[in-house]
Amino acid sequence: MFHDCSNESIGSHVFSRSHILKPISKDLNIYQFNQRPLIFLSNKHDVFCYKLEPIRNAFIFKGFCQKHDNDLFKSIEPHNGFVDWSQKKSQYLLSYRTICREIYANNVVINVIDTISKDNYAKRQSINLFSLEKQLITLQYTRENLFYYKSLLEKDILKEDFSSISFKYIELPFQFDLCVSAPIYIDYGNGLCFNSDCQELNIVNIFPYYGKTIILFGYLQKFNNQWMDGILPKFKSPYPHIVSSAFVDILYRAEFNAMSPSLYDSLDKDLLNEFFRTWKKEVNNFSDDMQEVSHLFYYTLNELMPKSWKDL
């Protein structure tokens, strides 16, 4: 997927297995958000769930050849020492992985829909072909937008310029074992603008890192970034319910997320089921206002957040 590379892709990870996924795993497993395909769903199962997955399969995608996967990202996959995530190069490389993974996922869905729409399966299952075609057009346009951001990131990485994409960086003084990696699109009521060279995206990465929680937003300054500017201060709040609402807001918009078994076990399962039910209702809501189970992480955060911070 890297510029002009035609070598065979391997299974690339968005997040480092050794530095990010392994430390929060239990027996090398973590809980990854899973959306079961509707066409294979039985009445006994919900559409959404968190599924225990080996870390070798978590956050993986066919993105880069062995050489580029090793050489391009070696500064954020150190054998010794730590990554300074406040550095622009590190932010660029991780965001580049995020965009490339989303392009890969987008292509997979496009191929599935294209196959279904051309196959007798759609007719046998009474699937609305018009709806499929509409989804296909949206996905194809989304892919073009993703490629625009990919080209910006790639160009700057090759030149070591790092000026096209801006970043907001927050480092929380506690470790919250949630991993999120997704480009997030917000619809402010205007819909997609087909006359623009690109749409507003926030490239979001959230992950635990050696006792801290890293929150990283990539964005283009030419957009208002209203949603981003509204949610970022919530992460710095001394109140656990406000911090929880910020994390939950992200989860509703980012399917590519996972958490440690200890975080999953700490969640109230009634709240989690309510979260899944609400997620199902809001799955096609890209606005900056949605119904959410904002207190999903309240009790866990109340234990994790430093008391001195909460007393501010």
Check residue 202 and give its pLDDT: 96
Structure tokens of 8?
């065979």
Structure tokens of 119?
């196959």
- Nearest alpha carbon to residue 217 among 166, 265, 155: 166
The Cα–Cα gap between 202 and 204 comes to 6
- CA count, 13 A, side-chain hemisphere, 176: 28
- Nearest alpha carbon to residue 163 among 84, 224, 220, 123: 220
- Nearest alpha carbon to residue 219 among 167, 169, 254: 167
Check residue 47 and give its pLDDT: 64
Structure tokens of 247?
């994390």
The Cα–Cα gap between 23 and 250 comes to 23
62 with 10: CB under 8 angstroms?
Answer: yes
Q: What are phi and psi of 86, to 5 degrees?
A: -80, -10
Check residue 295 and give its pLDDT: 93
Check residue 61 and give its pLDDT: 87
Check residue 43 and give its pLDDT: 47
Structure tokens of 180?
């999120």
68: part of which helix (H) or strand (E)?
helix 66-71
Q: What is the DSSP letter of 79?
A: S
Report the amino acid identity of residue 241: H
Check residue 41 and give its pLDDT: 42
Structural domain spans, the chain: 11-159, 166-310
b/e per residue 278-301 (b: at least 16 CB within 10 A): bbeeeeeeeebeeebbbbbbbbbb
Check residue 309 and give its pLDDT: 64
Check residue 312 and give its pLDDT: 47
The Cα–Cα gap between 276 and 284 comes to 14
Check residue 146 and give its pLDDT: 93
Strands (E), the chain: 11-13, 29-35, 48-54, 60-62, 166-172, 178-184, 202-209, 212-219, 257-259
Check residue 1 and give its pLDDT: 67
| Strand-pair partners of 49 | 34
- Nearest alpha carbon to residue 165 among 152, 183, 184, 146: 152
| pLDDT tens for the 312 residues of the chain, in order | 677 777 788 888 899 999 999 999 999 999 999 875 544 444 444 567 899 999 998 888 888 888 888 888 999 999 888 999 999 999 999 999 999 999 988 888 877 777 766 666 555 555 555 566 667 777 777 888 999 999 999 999 999 999 999 999 999 999 999 999 999 998 877 655 555 677 899 999 999 999 999 999 999 999 999 999 999 999 999 999 999 999 999 999 998 899 999 999 999 999 999 998 888 787 777 777 777 788 999 999 999 998 766 554
SS (H, E, C) 95-152: HHHHHHHHHHHHHHHHHHHHHHHHCHHHHHCCCCHHHHHHHHHHHHHHHHHHHHHHHH
The Cα–Cα gap between 40 and 69 comes to 34
DSSP per-residue codes, 238-261: S-HHHHHHHHHHHHHH-S-EEE-H
Check residue 39 and give its pLDDT: 45
Check residue 169 and give its pLDDT: 98
Q: Give me the count of residues in the chain.
A: 312
